[in-house]
Amino acid sequence: MSVPATATNPKRQRALTIIAVIVIVVAIVYAIYWFLYLSHYESTDDAYVQGNIVQITPQLAGTVVQVKVQDTDQVKAGQTLVELDPADARVALEEAEAALAQTVREVRQIYGNDAAMQADLAFRQADAARSAADLLRVQQDLRRRQDLAMKGVISKEDLAHSLATVTAAQSAQHAALAAVDGSREQLQATRSITRGVAINEHPKIKAAAAKVHEAMLALQRTQLLAPVGGYVAKRSVQLGQRVQPGANMMAIVPLDQVWVDANFKEVQLRKMRIGQPVALTADVYGKDVAYRGRIAGLGAGTGAAFALIPAQNATGNWIKVVQRVPVRIALDPAQLREHPLRVGLSMQVEVDVGDQAGKPVTETTAAASDAPVLISAVDAQADAIVQRIIADNLGAAVVAKASSH
């Protein structure tokens, strides 16, 4: 007798029950695991190492006479990378130094003429005083002769002679006063240039000194120095090449200053905060090397917004695509020294979003700008040259006289 189709197979029912129990247990375990662990982490493998790429470009035209580095070389800040032909710059510096010396001598003559003009003014004033005394004397003599002429004691001829003498004395007095005014105007004109200004602070000398600084700066710029320490990349300059200002010669990549840009989906940013800890692994080292990092900031836009050809969503066949936003992650410098990374390497990123105490990534504050790592000594050298030229072409007496004005 055959078993009815509706009859239940005990083995099959038991197997289905076991499978259902296993699925329920797995679901419960996964729910617990998600609640206790996965809900506190956001991860992505769309992450890459980024860093500063410092372009080395000349600031003046010239011919390359020496290239001292190659691609992959490690350089220090201040190290000479490329040298341009310095001949033209040296000639320009010599011309500027000669022009400064000539200017100092001309200005020294202006300051020296001040004493001569003071003496000339004193002489003119004394001469005017003498002419005034002579005029007073002949006028008194004329009045006496006029009294005598009325009494008939002297002749009209003597009276006319005395009158001519007074006229001549008046003309001499006018001439002396005019000479005093002219000498005073010349002295005032000179003092308007020199009064209250030390000779080495005179505008003409400062303008000539600025030309020396400019020529010294041009000479210094014939040597292209590394502004930061790092590794040479993308070298394109060749010996004997004629370069123009702004031409890309090479790049310096400071690998001790790299970071990671992790591209998270926009829905993953809700719980992210500044300073949250990040665990990272690099494909080049594998999972044996784990990096520690911190969230440092959020990109200003999505990758699509900064693409060469941005997406045009105002179309009839629009399809929503989840966008990704780069999140900057700062790495531990000690780990970077132990396991260096290269720009562009792929990274696996996992952010612990359990700590919600920090600011949201959307409220990133602007960081302070990087301080210059290389300070040129060209200003000090130019100052020394200027002071030497002024001292060689300037008299100490003139300096003391100028400072007393």
What number of CA atoms fall less than 13 Å from residue 323's CA on the CB side?
15
The count of other CB atoms within 10 Å of the CB of residue 279 is: 15
Model pLDDT, residue 108: 79
The count of other CB atoms within 10 Å of the CB of residue 357 is: 8
Q: Please give the average per-residue pLDDT across 19-43, as a whole number.
A: 78
pTM given for the model: 0.66
List the beta bridge partners of residue 351.
42, 278
Model pLDDT, residue 314: 67
State the pLDDT confidence band at 266, using cuts at 50, 70 and 90.
confident
Task: Evaluate if residue 224 carries a pLDDT over 60.
Answer: yes
Would you state the structure tokens that stand for residue 364, as one six-digit string?
Answer: 């990133």
Model pLDDT, residue 193: 59
Query: pLDDT over 70 for what percent of the chain?
Result: 79
Q: Please give the average per-residue pLDDT across 309-323, as a whole number.
A: 72
Would you state the structure tokens that stand for residue 351, as one six-digit string?
Answer: 């952010």
The C-alpha atoms of residue 17 and residue 28 are separated, in whole angstroms, by 16
The C-alpha atoms of residue 388 and residue 70 are separated, in whole angstroms, by 40
Task: Evaluate if residue 226 carries a pLDDT over 80.
Answer: yes
Would you state the structure tokens that stand for residue 343, as one six-digit string?
Answer: 């720009």
- Per-residue burial over 264-275, b if 16 or more Cβ lie within 10 Å, else e, is beeebbebbbbe
| 3-class DSSP string for 121-165 | HHHHHHHHHHHHHHHHHHHHHHHHHHHHHHCCCCCHHHHHHHHHH
Residue 329: closest CA among 378, 280, 269, 400: 280
Model pLDDT, residue 242: 94
Domains of the chain: 54-85+222-252 (2.40.50.100), 89-218+382-403 (1.10.287), 258-359 (2.40.30.170)
| Chain centroid to CA 282 | 37
State the pLDDT confidence band at 298, using cuts at 50, 70 and 90.
confident
State the pLDDT confidence band at 232, using cuts at 50, 70 and 90.
very high
CA-based max dimension of the chain? 194
> Residue 232 — φ and ψ, nearest 5°?
-80, 135
Would you state the structure tokens that stand for residue 225, as one six-digit string?
Answer: 């120095």
State the pLDDT confidence band at 373, using cuts at 50, 70 and 90.
very low
Looking at 26-35, 40-49, 288-297, 367-376, which range is the least confident one? 367-376
Q: By three-state DSSP, how is residue 50 classified?
A: strand
Tell me the range of 14-28, 120-134, 172-186, 285-299 where mean pLDDT is highest: 285-299
End-to-end CA distance of the chain: 138
Model pLDDT, residue 163: 77
Looking at 51-65, 139-153, 346-360, which range is the least confident one? 139-153
Would you state the structure tokens that stand for residue 39, as one six-digit string?
Answer: 């809900």
| pLDDT per position as a tens digit, 143-159 | 777 776 676 666 677 76
The C-alpha atoms of residue 337 and residue 339 are separated, in whole angstroms, by 6
> Residue 183 — φ and ψ, nearest 5°?
-65, -40
Which amino acid, one-letter code, is at 229? G
Q: Which strands sit side by side in the sheet containing 230-233, from one edge to the other?
A: 54-56, 250-253, 230-233, 74-75
Task: Evaluate if residue 130 carries a pLDDT over 50.
Answer: yes
How long, in residues, is the chain?
A: 405
